[in-house]
Amino acid sequence: MEVITDRVEMNRIVKNHKYKAKTIGFVPTMGFLHEGHLSLVKKAKQDNDITIMSIFVNPTQFGPNEDFETYPRDFERDRRLAENAGVNYLFAPSVDEMYPNEMGNQLSVMKRTNVLCGKSREGHFDGVITVLSKLFHIVIPDKAYFGKKDAQQIAVVEGLVHDYFFPIEIVAVETVREKDGLAKSSRNVYLSVDERREAPALYKSLELAKNVILNGEKSPAKIREKIKEYIQKNTSGIIDYIEIYSYPALEPIANIHGKVIIALAVKFSKARLIDNIIMELEQ
């Protein structure tokens, strides 16, 4: 595995592989890798000739009071994990490499962002699509891989690719979970011992909601209340949101039908955890 820090060099390498008709699978990350990231690598390797992973903690997607400075970083550990997983190239640019000058143009997301995480993180997804646009131009992937835990991000990125005609297929990969159901996340390290014990209740509440829906309940309000009661009973976390929307449009629905996302965010003392399930009901 080669580690590349220069964007021009990364682009040159990619173009050389493209000239040889090699397909490129791309896994963009912010590092502090876990099994969820590595599952994306596994899928990318199955689908493509060359797998490229990026590690870049993108400052433009963090708000003023968010955890950019303290976001967990361990590059040597990440490098070993990426190499052992079979990544061909690890692109790890600096902030100055990705943002060498003050931006003279701005990308802004107009749809799918005024709900879920986007509702409380103004400008977050603008930063996401900005850095991904840069990375897509550098890496020129055939396919890019994202985990379903960040389902809103996938919906936003699919919109970006569609609107700007990026010749890229976005591949959504199932959320990787701990044995007790907690979704893998770089932020799980912030949980206290007691909070870690409570955290699996988030996914259990979503499973409860799914079963209630399959048993005939179609009212979003009643489903949200079931989830709220379960989380409040089983955790010390503060609920940020519990929402049900159409997917991927992320629009409100009066009754549960078609493809929907049931999503939640819960704040613990030093970590805000998100989770979701996507399910499709016959019309």
Q: Is the pLDDT of residue 1 over 90?
A: yes
User: How much is the pLDDT for 65?
Assistant: 74
pLDDT in tens, 146-204: 999 999 999 999 999 999 999 999 999 999 999 999 999 888 999 999 999 999 999 99
Binding positions for ATP are: 30-37, 147-150, 176, 184-187
Task: Find the catalytic residue in 17, 37, 124, 162.
Answer: 37
pLDDT in tens, 101-145: 999 998 999 888 877 877 767 788 999 999 999 999 999 999 999
CA distance 48 to 151: 23
User: How much is the pLDDT for 70?
Assistant: 81
Rounded average pLDDT over 260-268: 96
Binding positions are: 30-37, 61, 147-150, 153, 176, 184-187
**Both tokens of residue 191?**
């949980």
User: How much is the pLDDT for 123?
Assistant: 81
User: How much is the pLDDT for 283?
Assistant: 61
Closest by alpha carbon to 75, among 134, 25, 27, 3?
3
**Could you give all domains of the chain from N- to C-terminal order, each with its CATH number?**
2-173 (3.40.50.620), 186-273 (3.30.1300.10)
User: How much is the pLDDT for 72?
Assistant: 84
What Rg do the C-alpha atoms of the chain give, in angstroms?
A: 19
User: How much is the pLDDT for 282?
Assistant: 75
Q: Which amino acid is it at 143? A: K
Binding positions for (R)-pantoate are: 61, 153
User: How much is the pLDDT for 181?
Assistant: 95
Binding positions for beta-alanine are: 61
pLDDT in tens, 209-249: 999 999 999 999 999 999 999 999 999 999 999 999 999 99
pLDDT in tens, 12-48: 999 999 999 999 999 999 999 999 999 999 999 999 9
- H helices within the chain, ranges in order? 7-19, 35-47, 75-85, 95-98, 116-120, 124-139, 151-163, 193-198, 201-214, 220-234
What are the residues facing 246 on neighbouring strands? 260
Which letter does DSSP use for residue 138 in this model? H
37 in active site: yes
Q: Which amino acid is it at 237? A: G
When the pLDDT of each residue in the chain is averaged and rounded to a whole number, the result is 94
pTM for the model: 0.88
pLDDT in tens, 47-92: 999 999 999 999 999 887 777 888 889 999 999 999 999 999 999 9
User: How much is the pLDDT for 119?
Assistant: 77
Q: 3-state class of 259 per DSSP?
A: strand
